[in-house]
Amino acid sequence: MRNPVYTAIAIGVGIVVLLGYFLQFDLLVNLRIVFLEWATILVATALLIGVVNLFIVHWRKSTTDQPNRVNSIALLAGLTITMGVAGWFGPTDLYSLWIFNYILIPIEASLMGILSVVLIYAGVRLLRRKPNLLSIVFIATAVIILLMTGPLFGIDIPGLAELRIWIGKVPAVAGARGILLGVSLGIIAAGLRILMGADRPYGGN
Amino acid sequence: MEETYCPLCGKPNPIDNKFCDFCLAHLHPQEGGSTDSEALSIPGIEDNQDGLGGHESDSNVPDWLSELQQSNEMENEETLDSESELGQPANAISDWMTGVSGDGEATVGEVSPTAPFLPDQGINESQDIPHWLNDSLIEEEDQDLLEDERSGEVPLDGEGRDVSRGDSSSPEISEDISSGRENAGPLAGLRGVLPAEPGAARVRKPRTYSAKLKVSTSQRAHIDLLNSLLEDEGQPQPLPPRRSISQQHVLRWGIALVLLMAILWPIVITSHEMPFPDYDEGSAEVNRLISQLPENARVLVGFDFEPGLAAELDTAAAPVFDHLLSEGALLTLISTSPSGPILAERFIQSIQSDQKLIYGLEYVNLGYIPGGAVGLLSFIENPQGTIPFTIDGLSAWETEDRNGLPATAGIDQITDYSMVILLVDDPDTARTWIEQLGPTITNPQALMSFVLITSAQLEPVVRPYYESSPQPVNGLVVGLRGGAAYARIIGSDDFPGRSWDAFGMGTFVAALLILVGGLGYYVIPELSRTARDQEKVKR
């Protein structure tokens, strides 16, 4: 049986927050602010719970004889050291910045570098795997954007810069606007479903 | 005590018994042979039969019955003669019964099951059936069968069955039925009547069949093939040896090496050869907005990007912040990403050599806003209530009971900021900021502008907001190109030329690799295939 209390709370809060956008009554505005602050606190608490749960799960994995337990041990060590340094010296201290500058950023930057190599490799093989018109258009667009985004040694190819601007402003923007419109409609539909009780992500079946 | 076994029920009886104690059947066949009806007859009934028609009681038979009996014997004399020729024990059958049933063999050739009644009509095949009827109605095959039956030669199949009758039963039963005739009772004279106790009196040893499976040579070959297949299924097949260096490996490593050399080359030679872009509309608009800021304007800066893109965004944002700080702006740093606050601190550290910013006085780091869109909306609605303290635990805002920091002095609501700058690399995060901040920015009464400094990959997503009207985004600096354009606008020499040169060389080589490599990867196999086809045509 569906729990009507959860549904009533969710719909009531949603309607109050929504009405606060349209009706500038002090009561509605203040209620909306309070609800938003509560939501922020709840999300922060959920984040803490997630970190604790992560620690517990990998602690169990590291203390039992399981495959890849070395990964769990490394995760626990990194988590403990980082939390210890940031908690003791402060998150903006030089030690914390050292961990960030010399461990986190190089790892993520190297992943981006690998991604660039993989994308170029995929572009090279694209014509071999799918030699059709769409592939040719894709490759031509990528080459034009890459060439004209960079300085190209100061060489001015007539029409290419204008073509790059046109691609960036017309086809790319048209596609992006279509995506944004679709996302907006989806969000509106999801919000209405939750307000009407048809969709209950908070539980109660 | 000696015993004999009943031929009917198989149970033991004393040897002196004439009849079985259990089923009353005759235990000993009578001398001279007897019919089945006699052997299986019940004594009481036999007595009655004897009383009615037996020769032993002729003296007790009335005259009228004797005359009737004699007339019957005269009528069936011919039949009795034929039975005597076939060796039938005619004397073992009562006279009156013989008169009823003794004509069977005279009609052996009759196909119809009612053949025993036909001789009563006195049909003679050669005389009474017209010749035309005999030829036309009886087909040739049937005539052959008739002839076979007359001669006693029934066509048999390989297993001894009667082919002419299509009989699939065992040869013994078929033979009994074909030759058997009821000699007693109301069914006397009928052919093919099932016996009352079928086969019980004929105890025979059952035929033995071989339990061995008869398999032909071809079946044996198929069995062997199936066995070999099943055995092969169970055997692990060795994988083909994997080449340590394949064509794909060489291509990937080649691309990586060429790209790395192209990027490193401008950094090594330390010569700035790539010109900055002449003009960028979005960067120029940002420059205009910053130039119009009042002195000591409060600027909210959001750091919402991943550390992997820090190099691009830090470089692009550096000239903008040079200009901003030169205008005397006071910065409030915030982020909706957990790694954002330390990225903001890192960025401030990177520009410290030029600007010498003082924490709390010229900038303040509020840290991380949890909750994504909800947290951001809460901050926009009520900044002081959502983030009351800085990342260092200091009181961020000036209130009645506590002093705030100079960098945030006079800020009660979001519209007290003169500008909001967002460094972002993710389309969802950018959309969240634009959607939550948009109503405030587009409000004509709010004298606040919103500027984005984005990664190059985000330009198509944020440009629609920039080009719409009213504008939720007032200025746009896109990637290194936007940063370089901004540096050129403000005439700054601090923009790292080496980064710009490496970026230009990297994009050029990447485009070249895709173009040349793709064409080569496609054209070379096509050419080789054409050459092979031509060689085949020549041959």
Note whether B342 contacts A100, CB cutoff 8 Å.
Answer: yes
The predicted-structure confidence for A127-152, as pLDDT tens digits, reads as follows 888 888 999 999 999 999 998 888 88
Judging contacts by C-beta atoms under 8 Å, the chain A residues touching residue B461 are 176, 179-180
Q: Using a CB–CB cutoff of 8 Å, tell me whether B254 touches chain A.
A: no
Judged by CB atoms closer than 8 Å, whether chains meet at A40 and B382 is answered as no
Which positions 334-353 of B are in contact with A (Cβ < 8 Å)?
Answer: 338-339, 341-343, 345-346, 349
For the sheet with B363-368, list strands across it: B363-368, B330-335, B298-304, B419-424, B449-454, B475-478
Give alpha helix (H) positions in B160-280.
Answer: 171-179, 217-234, 247-269
Q: How far is CA A162 from CA A157, A165, B427, in A?
A: 10, 5, 25
Say yes or no for a CB contact (<8 Å) between B463 and A109: no
B461 CB within 8 Å of a chain A CB: yes
* pLDDT for residue B274: 80
Residue B154 DSSP SS3: coil
What pLDDT sits at residue B404?
77
Find out whether B371 and B335 touch, Cβ atoms under 8 Å: no
Which chain B residue lies closest to A126 (C-alpha atoms)? Answer: B518
User: Using CA atoms, how far apart are residues B115 and A145, in angstroms rounded to an integer?
Assistant: 108
Binary contact (B460, A128; C-beta < 8 A): no
Task: Determine if residue B479 is left, alpha or beta; phi over 0 gives left, psi from -120 to 50 gives alpha, anything else beta.
Answer: left
Contact flag B514-A105 (C-beta cutoff 8 Å): no
Strands B363-368 and B3-5: unpaired
CA A112 to chain centroid: 16
Residues of A in contact with B521 (CB under 8 A): 124-125, 127-128
Show the low-confidence residues of chain B (pLDDT under 70): 1, 29-62, 66-180, 182, 194-203, 272, 353-355, 494
Give me the residue spans of the domains in chain B: 281-495, 508-539
Nearest CA in chain A to B392: A90
The verdict on a CB contact (< 8 Å) between A128 and B518 is yes
Q: Identify the residue with better confidence: A33 or B56.
A: A33
Q: Where are chain A's structural domains?
A: 1-90
Do A125 and B521 lie within an 8 Å CB cutoff?
yes
Closest CB to B382 among A33, A116, A175: A33
Q: Which among A104, A150, A151 is the nearest to B307, CB-wise? A: A104
C-alpha span between B62 and B532 (Å, rounded)? 121
Q: What is the pLDDT of residue B223?
A: 93
pLDDT at position B422, please?
95
Is the pLDDT at A19 greater than 80? The verdict is: yes
pTM over the 0.95 mark = no
* For residues A93-117, average pLDDT: 91
Residue with tokens 């003794």: B102
Q: What is the CA A201 to chain-centroid distance, rounded? A: 20
> Cβ B308–A112 below 8 Å, yes or no?
yes
Model ipTM? 0.84
Q: Which residues of B264-293 are buried (b: 16+ CB within 10 A; e: fewer)?
A: eebeeeeeeebebbeebebbebbbebbeeb
Given the DSSP bridges, would you call strands B330-335 and B449-454 parallel, antiparallel or unpaired?
Answer: unpaired
Higher pLDDT, B536 or A202: B536
Of A97, A124, A142, the CB nearest to B349: A97
Between β-strands B12-14 and B363-368, what pairing exists: parallel, antiparallel or unpaired? unpaired
Q: How far is A134 from chain B (nearest CA, A)?
A: 14
The pLDDT of residue B195 = 61
| B360 interface with A at CB cutoff 8 Å | no
pLDDT at A194: 87
Say whether residue B276 is in contact with chain A using an 8 A CB cutoff: yes
Q: Which of B309, B370, B456 sits opposite A149 (nearest CB)?
A: B456
In DSSP notation, B159-191 reads TS-BTTTT--S-HHHHHHHHH-B--SSTTTT-B
- Arch. (CATH architecture) of B281-495: 3-Layer(aba) Sandwich (3.40)
Cβ atoms of B148 and B156 within 8 Å: the answer is: no
β-pairing, B419-424 vs B449-454, is parallel
φ/ψ region of A154 (left if φ > 0, alpha if ψ in -120 to 50, else beta) reads: left
| A116 contacts B504? CB cut-off 8 A | no
The pLDDT of residue B134: 52
Residues 6+ apart with CB under 8 A from A86: A93, A96
Q: What is the pLDDT of residues A183-201, one digit of tens each?
A: 989 999 998 998 888 888 7
